[in-house]
Amino acid sequence: MKRNSWIRKQGWVGYIFILPNMLGILAFFILPALYSFFMMFTDYQFANPNWTFTGLDNIQRLFGDDQFYASIKYTIIFLMSVPVSLAIAFLVALVLNRSVYLKGLLRGMFFLPYISSGVAVAFVWMLLFQPSQGPINEVLRFIGIVSPPGWFADSSSAMYAIDVVQIWFMLGYNMIIYLAALQEISTEQLEAARIDGAGKATITWRIVWPLVSPTTFMLLITGLIMTVKSFSLIQAITGGGPSGSTTILSLFVYKTAFSYYEMGYASTISWFLFAVILVITIIQWVGQKRWVHY
């Protein structure tokens, strides 16, 4: 007994427990991140190992780069999918939380896209959105739209078409979290409002919506972070095209690094991406206290 309490106090056991995982995190996350930070100030190119320190040149180049501003614009359009998906998810969760038949089946139907994420889904949507003969445009022509958009094939619509797929993809995830939040609302509160004569719409808007606001806020923040980092969907469908019109920040990093092999510059862009995430996270810290009703 004495020996064990000694172990607890000394606590070297704790280090043994976290050490194996810690080593991996160090080797594959922390050290690479530090190295990338260092490369931001060099002109490292993969083909040319003779790099030099360039100081803040990369950062200067970034802020003078038209592609950079374009990629910010496309990233913002991409991020618009987050609030839209949240709004739909909230409505679906409201209905599924009330009395419907086949709850499990319905939940599964909405959740399926999220789990089957990946390149396969991207290719299915590519064909659904096919401009000349694809089923989506067939339906649009059928209801009287003579020249429907070219979707992924057209640089003015490609980013919005990606939004549609992203909303579809994230909907089930957001809905599941909303369902969990709705189930935590006590029936007494709703009952009390009912007795006071509040109608369904009033209860939903004045009581339920404020009560789930921490969930909304959390989903908005994590959704923005997840979306700004995401890469696979767009890379598989358009590869950033047509004519760069879907090259969001994360793709801009990938292209700069692995199509042009400008590793130093790519590191700079990737740290800008980190700065975006950092800002969103700080907003979360500050905002939790100020805007969210508990």
Partner 1 sequence: MFRITKTRSVKLSVTILMLIAGLFMIVPFLWMLSTSFQTPSEVFRQWLPSKLDWTSHKRIWTGNYNFLPYYLNSIKIAVIGTAGAVFLSAFAAYGFARTEFKGRNTLFIVYLSMMMIPPQVVFVPKFILFNWLHIYNTHWALILPAMFSIFGVFMLRQFFLSIPNEITESALLDGAGHFRIFFKLVLPLAKPALATFAIIDFSWQWNDYENALVFLQSPKLYTIPLGLQNFVLENNVDYNGMMAASSAAIIPMILIFLLGQKYIIQGVSSSAVKG
What part of residues 273-292 is at the interface with partner 1 (CB under 8 A)?
273-274, 277-278, 281
In the numeric block, the tokens 């089930």 are attached to: 172
Quote the least distance from Cβ 271 to partner 1, whole Å: 7
From residue 180, alpha-carbon distances to 90, 96, 169, 176 in Å are: 11, 11, 19, 6
Binding of residue 41 to partner 1 (CB under 8 A) = no
Binding of residue 56 to partner 1 (CB under 8 A) = no
Candidates 58-66, 72-80, 156-164, 221-229: pick the segment binding partner 1 (CB under 8 A). 221-229
Binding of residue 87 to partner 1 (CB under 8 A) = no
In angstroms, the CA 253 to CA 266 distance is 5
Q: Mask of contacts with partner 1, 130-159, x by CB under 8 A? A: x--xxx--x---------------------
Residues 6+ apart with CB under 8 A from 96: 103, 106, 107, 175, 179
- Binding residue for partner 1 (CB under 8 A) from 59, 229, 242, 292? 229
Quote the least distance from Cβ 60 to partner 1, whole Å: 20
Binding of residue 12 to partner 1 (CB under 8 A) = yes
Which residue in 266, 248, 247 sits closest to 256, CA to CA?
A: 266
Candidates 54-62, 66-74, 144-152, 255-263: pick the segment binding partner 1 (CB under 8 A). 255-263
Instruction: Tell me the CA end-to-end span of the chain in Å, nearest whole number.
Output: 45
The pair of structure tokens assigned to 18 is 């976290």
The pair of structure tokens assigned to 121 is 């889904």
